[in-house]
Chain A
Amino acid sequence: MSDAAPLAFGIAVPWLAGFAVVRALLAWHRDRDTWVEVGYGHFVGVLLVTLVMRCMNAIGMPLAVVPATIVMAIVAVGGLVYAARRSSTDVRGPETTPEPLALRWIAAVALALIAIRLGTLAVDVLLRPLFAWDAWSQWGTKAKVWSSLREIAPFMGYDEWLARTRPGYTDTAPNYPATIPLLQTWMTLVLGRWDDALMNLPWLAAFVALGAGLYGQMRRLGAGASWSIVATYLVLSLPLLDTHVALAGYADLHVAAAYALAVLALAQWEATRARGALVLLASAALLLPLLKLPGIAWIGTLALGTVIVVFGTTPWRMGGLAAAVLAVTVAIGFYFGSGKVTPDAAATQYRIVESLLQHLYAFGSWNLAWYLVPLTVALAWREALALKATTVALACGFAFLAWTFFFTQAGDWVVDYTTVNRALLHIAPAAIAYAALLAHARAARPVVQTAAVPVSSAMTQAAAADAGREVA
């Protein structure tokens, strides 16, 4: 129990600083939403604490808890004071009609299941040392060195290490971004000793924060409380996502969470043009390339979505942007597949398809996610078109995955059951939240078009506005 206080401190300090930053940024645009601030705030806090540590290292200071805490406390106080001075009120979507009793019951069950899930995952996070291969061979290695030396010692490739041209360490992924190991370093410094189980508590915090952020954004987009809880449950109950919490130590959970929150912020910005949404989009998206190299591709899809919101209203512009999407996707594919592009034989492609179908539709990694996402898009295609920037961003993400699976070495990782699901995990929470949003809007679509549409009004108004501009 003596570890409880430092662990709580290690989680709370960055989270509070991130919360204050998001609150301040929203207040700047006269916006406020506690759920969203809690959810997005956690990930902004992760960004902050690791940036502070990078700055300390850059100026030659040893990594230490007290100076980093002082900086984050200043940020937290500054953010909260600024937000308090800007009068703003909680933003919600338009009031919804009362939700059906059945949905409310389902939401209650979902909430209970989330609570049980949190408890069972906490056991593994708190007790199990680093278990999964990459967690101890390429992420935890750096955390162990940096927390022990109290500096961000460089990591390099094997050949460079053997050549002894400069001091430094080596492991299997020396070029990977430092954010995840720095987060573990922070927890280790706070704890005061190396413990490769307890240092992973931020993974459980990320699970909670993702839930809070999803719920808050669903509410801002007009969904009622019950449907927002159900949508959050659908994401948090994904078996592979839960596994990445329990067997903590990989970056994929954080990538998935940041991307999902960014996509929902994009959807909100597209539907409402609220500047607060743009702030949330930026805060989540900035983390992506700092977590893992494919984060560059994910932030690319969000950038395209952003461009479409700003410019993509006429067919010509949409066509041009679609071409740009294609070009950028292919370029990113080539970038990541440099030297790995393998236009395989049809037999290999068949094996990839066969394996992919097993992973998506037969095995237990995804529940019914990959059945329901396309089904929902097909049934709610009008709503999908109303959210064209979000739709294109996600479509671009799937195109990126398809490219890597079918035209690079990653095809082998589909067939041998390794990376395929981890790659899908990056986009799965975003896709499910998007589908939940479409389902909600589709359910609220009026029979008579002139009737009042409280729930999806933002989306339909956006579509109508686009149509009006095109006519003009």
Chain B
Amino acid sequence: MSVPEVGTGRPSLRAIAVLAWIAAFAVLLAVTALIAGPPPGAGDAPPLTRTGRQLVPNNPNARPQGDAILVANRREAPLTILAISQQPLRTADYGRLAIDAEPLPPGVEVALLWIRLDQPGKPHDQRIPTDSRGVLEPALLDRDAAWSGDVTLLALGVKGPMERPWMLRSVSLQPITTGSVIGDIVRGWRAFERWDGRSINVLFGGRDEQRAWFPPLAFAASAIAALAVVVVARRRRVRVGPAPIIVAFLIGWLALDVRWQLNLVEQARSTVAEFGGKTWEQKHASMEDADLFRFVQAARARLPADPVRIFVNSDLEYFRRRAGFHLYPHNVLAYSWAEPSQLRPGEYLLLYQKADVRFDTAQEELLWANGRRLDAKPLLVQRGAGLFVVGPKGGR
């Protein structure tokens, strides 16, 4: 253990570990932003700022309200284009887009759209990220390869029908700075990483794509802080105990863990909003395969109570397997089988989004695109889905 420093009035080695970590991390972040950002000197034009009223909409979905503009996409017209500038501008002068607006209604997204002088008929776009509440975050454009040369049209695209109008107060296209790159790096770490199909295998620590990853910077700051502790200890002629070194590395771990814990809290909120107070069936009816679940529940009501052999097929593996899962404890085959003759009379068949099979109502047969046929009686049919029982002639 370290020799105690008594009455020196100087900060302890543990305090130095903490301070050194903070300082090292700040410096590392700035250096990384300089490396990962655009070259120095690029983009020194004055900001291009438009109030909402100054934007030019392409349809009556949008109308000015004071200095702002109110957008209300309808189901029959779910896209509004708001022109920012129709004057040529150099992309090299700008790299950051900031939008002052209300949080987006659910299911709505906003993108910056532009047309380059050298590609007159080809629109380019970059989606504007939002935080977990739907507030649009500043977007950096410098990593988009299409953001180059001169631009002749610049606009915002607002896509998706809205359950309530959305107010946009102003749009500002600004030169990119080291500060804005730092902001973008930190926003990349803070971005809410919602559970998705990949989460069980990998966690990215924020956005999938980042300018700089948090763990290496946190570790480098820890290593520098540990070195600083050793150097200071030598200058003070005291032996370094384990505690300051451990503190230096634990701070790095804690910094990463606080980010992760905040993400878990956000995820818990989202989970409660999605599933809280619901029964088992209601939960499944609100998941991404809700339509399939409802169809399978209806199909189960047409099947005998005791488990039966049932073949399931779909063009999409996800639906095939999910249908299988919902059908158990019936005896399901949710494998992508292709030979109808494998089905025996009295067995069942559930098809969901299977494009190469149609039902011949006159012959009461299922017809495959390759000419195969299956004698089948429909028990439940809806657009793109059906439950059948195999007839006495079976498949051929």
Residue ranges of A at the interface with B (Cβ–Cβ < 8 Å):
97, 100, 102-103, 106, 109, 113, 116-117, 119-121, 123-124, 127-137, 140-141, 144-145, 148-149, 158, 161-162, 169-172, 193-197, 230, 234, 237, 239-240, 242-244, 246-247, 250, 359, 361-368, 371-372, 417-422, 439, 442-443, 447
Contacts and interface: CB of A to CB of B under 8 A. Distances in A.
B54 interface: no
A361 B271 contact: no
A123 B275 CA distance: 10
Nearest to A169: B331
Contacts of A366: 215
Contacts of B203: 239-240, 243, 363-365
B329 A417 contact: no
Nearest to A365: B203
Contact of A361 (B215, B249, B325): B215
Give the contact-size bracket for chain B: 35 or more
A230 B249 CA distance: 12
Interface in B271-296: 271-272, 274-276, 280, 283-284, 287
Interface of B: 1, 14, 193, 195, 197-206, 213-216, 218-219, 222, 239, 241-243, 246-247, 249-250, 252-254, 256-257, 259-261, 264-265, 267-268, 271-272, 274-276, 280, 283-284, 287, 307, 321-322, 324-325, 328-329, 331-335, 337, 342
Contact of A132 (B199, B261, B271, B322): B199
A443 B246 contact: yes
Contacts of A417: 198, 201-202
Contacts of A367: 215, 253, 256-257, 260
A250 B324 contact: no
Contacts of A128: 195, 271, 275, 283
23 contacts: A100-B1, A106-B247, A116-B265, A120-B268, A123-B268, A127-B276, A128-B275, A132-B197, A137-B321, A144-B328, A158-B333, A170-B333, A172-B321, A363-B203, A363-B204, A364-B205, A368-B222, A371-B215, A371-B219, A420-B201, A421-B201, A421-B202, A422-B201
A420 B203 CA distance: 12
Given A145-B328, A162-B342, A196-B280, A103 B264 contact: no
Contacts of A246: 195, 264, 267
A237 B257 contact: yes
B161 to A, nearest CB: 28
B260 to A, nearest CB: 5
Main secondary structure of the interface of A (DSSP, over half): helix
A140 B325 CA distance: 8
Contacts, number: 188
B293 to A, nearest CB: 10
Q: Which of B214, B216, B219, B325 has the most CB of A within 10 A?
A: B325
Contacts of A196: 280
Contacts of A97: 1
A422 B250 CA distance: 24
B376 to A, nearest CB: 18
B197 A364 contact: no
Given A128-B271, A169-B331, A136 B199 contact: no
B304 to A, nearest CB: 14
A160 to B, nearest CB: 11
A363 B202 contact: yes
B261 A116 contact: yes
B260 A362 contact: no
A123 B321 CA distance: 26
Given A129-B283, A129-B287, A141-B328, A439 B261 contact: no
Contacts of B205: 239, 363-365
Given A242-B260, A362-B215, 5 more contacts: A127-B271, A144-B325, A170-B332, A237-B257, A364-B204
Contact of B243 (A103, A120, A195): A103
A149 B275 CA distance: 28
A159 to B, nearest CB: 10
A247 B215 contact: no
Given A100-B241, A149-B329, A359 B202 contact: yes
Given A102-B247, A140-B325, A368 B333 contact: no
Contacts of B247: 102, 106
